């Protein structure tokens, strides 16, 4: 069984913190050409395993496409692949980019999970992030989605936002809990290079030069919460959501029982996935593929024709060594609260985890950063807080 990811790079406006491969686009012509290319890529890609367990349509803002355009992609997938009876098909959706009618149609074409990007229920915080919506837009979108029939909805939240107080964040959590979604992804803001925030809060000088003084002055009054507050927010998330019947199953992900995101768990457990669209990354039978990120080059490549993926010069292909796979098994798998299986490591690589990581494991256990329970290895609470320090220990010397 494999999973499929479809990348839709279009959005209405770039958010100030966003470093995803996305850009504002209002040209229907470009969108259609992109979907043509996507469909060609899907059709011409050679695959062995055709049984699909999950599909994730992400972006960008996929709901800047109309439901017919999304339908074309799903039709192409159904033509090429067999969808499992229990398939999860997620669509990312931003408040302010959809309507009751569109949601009804999306449900009809087979989307059965929505992921709505709320981020915050405080309008001033949304504004500071450069989001296009207000909290009321989210409330409407959520209601319409329920009315359209969606029974599996995720809400994306962000903490550690510019000027955010613990109190404000608590309000957002409470508001979300009231809407009663099945799943919540709660991320701390990451200040990335090549974003406006990278210039304001990071040390990306190339960006600072382009910013006008007005913006810099505005954000001077909106400092990021300090490390301690950020951790308080993180602990608060778990507290509030646990009380509301969610459980944390990954560093930043919470679900009601039975609603963990199947698709993302494929990433964290080392499963195979094929991705389509610009910048998309696939992982099949130990080989990683990265698509080109230039949209025009991508469209030209796939719309002119007929070369299967393995000959596609635009695709960066990296076979992973056993060592690479071991490293990923550890540092990706440990993001899951359930941890990783020690015997599973042996089954997969034919060598005991202890023989590869014995020294590291001993050290991390003694430092209280990881916990070993019978066959399971997982991060401790403290280990989650400083997970980068823990995870980098699992990189092996060449």
Partner 1 sequence: MDQSKIRNFCIVAHIDHGKSTLADRIIEKTGLLTEREMQEQVLDNMDIERERGITIKAQTVRTVYKAKDGEEYILNLIDTPGHVDFNYEVSRALAACDGAILVVDAAQGIEAQTLANVYLALDHDLDVFPVINKIDLPSAEPERVIEEIEDVIGIEAQDAPLISAKNGINIEEVLEAIVAKVPAPTGDEDAPLKALIFDSLYDSYKGVIIFCRLRDGRVKKGTRIKMMATGAEADVVEVGIFGAGQFIPADELTAGMVGYITASIKNVADTAVGDTVTDAGNPCSEALPGYKKVQSMVYCGMYPADGAHYPDLRDALEKLQLNDASLHYEPETSIALGFGFRCGFLGLLHLEIIQERLEREYNLDLVTTAPGVIYHVWKTDGTMIELTNPSNLPDPSEIEYMEEPVVNAEIMVTTEFVGAIMKLCQERRGRHIDMEYTTATRVLLKYELPLNEIIYDFFDALKSRSRGYASFDYELKGYERSELVKLDILINREEVDALSFIVHKDSAYERGRKMCEKLKEEIPRHMFEVPIQAAVGGKIIARETVKAMRKDVLAKCYGGDITRKKKLLEKQKEGKKRMRQIGTVTVPQKAFMSVLKLDSE
Say how far apart CA 344 and CA 341 lie, in whole Å.
5
Least distance from partner 1 to the Cβ atom of residue 29, Å: 27
Instruction: Specify which residues 186 forms β-bridges with.
Output: 157
Least distance from partner 1 to the Cβ atom of residue 230, Å: 6
Considering the complex, state which of residue 306 and residue 388 has its C-beta at the smaller distance from partner 1: 388
Least distance from partner 1 to the Cβ atom of residue 202, Å: 14
Query: In sequence order, what are the residues at sequence separation of 6 or more whose Cβ sits closer than 8 angstroms to the Cβ of residue 187?
Result: 156, 157, 158, 159, 252
Least distance from partner 1 to the Cβ atom of residue 187, Å: 4
Instruction: Specify which residues 376 forms β-bridges with.
Output: 341, 373
Least distance from partner 1 to the Cβ atom of residue 284, Å: 12
β 287-290/316-319 pair status: antiparallel
Closest to 227 measured CA to CA, from 253, 189, 260: 189
Say how far apart CA 248 and CA 242 lie, in whole Å.
8
Considering the complex, state which of residue 359 and residue 382 has its C-beta at the smaller distance from partner 1: 382
Say how far apart CA 18 and CA 10 lie, in whole Å.
13
Considering the complex, state which of residue 10 and residue 107 has its C-beta at the smaller distance from partner 1: 10
Considering the complex, state which of residue 34 and residue 331 has its C-beta at the smaller distance from partner 1: 331
Considering the complex, state which of residue 107 and residue 298 has its C-beta at the smaller distance from partner 1: 298
Considering the complex, state which of residue 112 and residue 281 has its C-beta at the smaller distance from partner 1: 281
Considering the complex, state which of residue 180 and residue 318 has its C-beta at the smaller distance from partner 1: 318
Least distance from partner 1 to the Cβ atom of residue 231, Å: 5
> Residue 193 CA to chain centroid, in angstroms?
18
Are 3 and 52 in contact by the 8 Å Cβ rule? The answer is yes
Least distance from partner 1 to the Cβ atom of residue 245, Å: 23
Q: Which two tokens stand for residue 282?
A: 């696939």
Q: What is the H or E stretch that residue 139 is in?
A: helix 135-148
Considering the complex, state which of residue 304 and residue 318 has its C-beta at the smaller distance from partner 1: 318
Say how far apart CA 31 and CA 10 lie, in whole Å.
8
Instruction: Specify which residues 341 forms β-bridges with.
Output: 376
Least distance from partner 1 to the Cβ atom of residue 273, Å: 6
List b or e across 200-227, with b for residues whose CB sees 16 or more CB atoms inside 10 angstroms: bbbebeebeeeeeeeeeeebeeeebbee
Phi, psi of 187 (to 5 degrees): -110, 145
Residues in touch with partner 1 (CB under 8 A): 5, 187-190, 227-228, 230-231, 234, 251-252, 264, 266-268, 273, 275, 279-281, 283, 288, 290, 318, 327-328, 331-332, 335, 367, 369, 382, 384-389, 391-393, 395
Q: Which two tokens stand for residue 170?
A: 């608590």
Give the end-to-end CA distance of the chain in Å, rounded to a whole number. Answer: 32
Least distance from partner 1 to the Cβ atom of residue 17, Å: 11
C-alpha distance from residue 14 to each of 30, 163, 197, 295, 389 (Å): 18, 20, 12, 16, 31
Considering the complex, state which of residue 43 and residue 235 has its C-beta at the smaller distance from partner 1: 235
């Amino acid at each position: 069984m494999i999973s499929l990811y479809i990348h839709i790079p279009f959005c209405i406006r770039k958010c100030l913190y966003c470093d995803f491969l996305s850009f504002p686009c209002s040209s229907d012509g470009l969108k259609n050409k992109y979907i043509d290319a996507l469909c060609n890529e899907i059709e011409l890609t050679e695959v062995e395993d055709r049984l699909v367990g999950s599909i994730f349509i992400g972006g960008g803002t996929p709901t800047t496409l109309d439901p017919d355009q999304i339908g074309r992609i799903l039709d192409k997938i159904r033509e090429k692949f067999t969808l499992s009876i229990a398939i999860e098909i997620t669509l990312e959706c931003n408040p302010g980019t959809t309507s009751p009618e569109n949601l009804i149609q999306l449900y009809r074409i087979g989307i059965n999970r929505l992921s709505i990007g709320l981020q915050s229920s405080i309008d001033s915080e949304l504004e500071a992030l450069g989001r296009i919506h207000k909290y009321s837009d989210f409330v409407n979108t959520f209601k319409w989605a329920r009315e359209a029939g969606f029974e599996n909805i995720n809400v994306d939240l962000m903490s550690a936002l510019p000027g955010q107080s613990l109190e404000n964040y608590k309000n957002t959590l409470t508001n979300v809990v009231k809407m009663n979604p099945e799943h919540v992804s709660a991320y701390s803001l990451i200040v990335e290079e090549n974003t406006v925030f990278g210039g304001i809060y990071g040390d990306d000088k190339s960006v600072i030069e382009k910013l006008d003084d007005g913006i810099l002055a505005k954000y001077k009054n909106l400092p990021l919460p300090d490390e301690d507050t950020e951790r308080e927010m993180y602990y608060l998330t778990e507290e509030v959501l646990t009380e509301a019947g969610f459980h944390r199953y990954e560093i930043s992900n919470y679900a009601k029982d039975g609603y963990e995101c199947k698709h993302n768990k494929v990433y964290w457990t080392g499963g195979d996935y094929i991705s389509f669209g610009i910048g998309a990354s696939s992982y099949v039978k130990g080989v990683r593929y990265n698509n080109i990120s230039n949209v025009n080059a991508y469209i030209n490549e796939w719309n002119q024709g007929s070369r299967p993926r393995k000959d596609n010069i635009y695709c960066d292909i990296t076979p992973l060594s056993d060592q690479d796979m071991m490293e990923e098994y550890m540092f990706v798998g440990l993001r899951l609260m359930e941890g990783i299986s020690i015997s599973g490591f042996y089954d997969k690589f034919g060598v005991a985890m202890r023989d590869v990581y014995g020294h590291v494991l001993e050290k991390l256990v003694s430092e209280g950063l990881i916990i070993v329970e019978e066959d399971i290895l997982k991060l401790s609470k403290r280990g989650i807080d400083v997970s980068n320090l823990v995870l980098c220990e699992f990189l092996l010397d060449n």
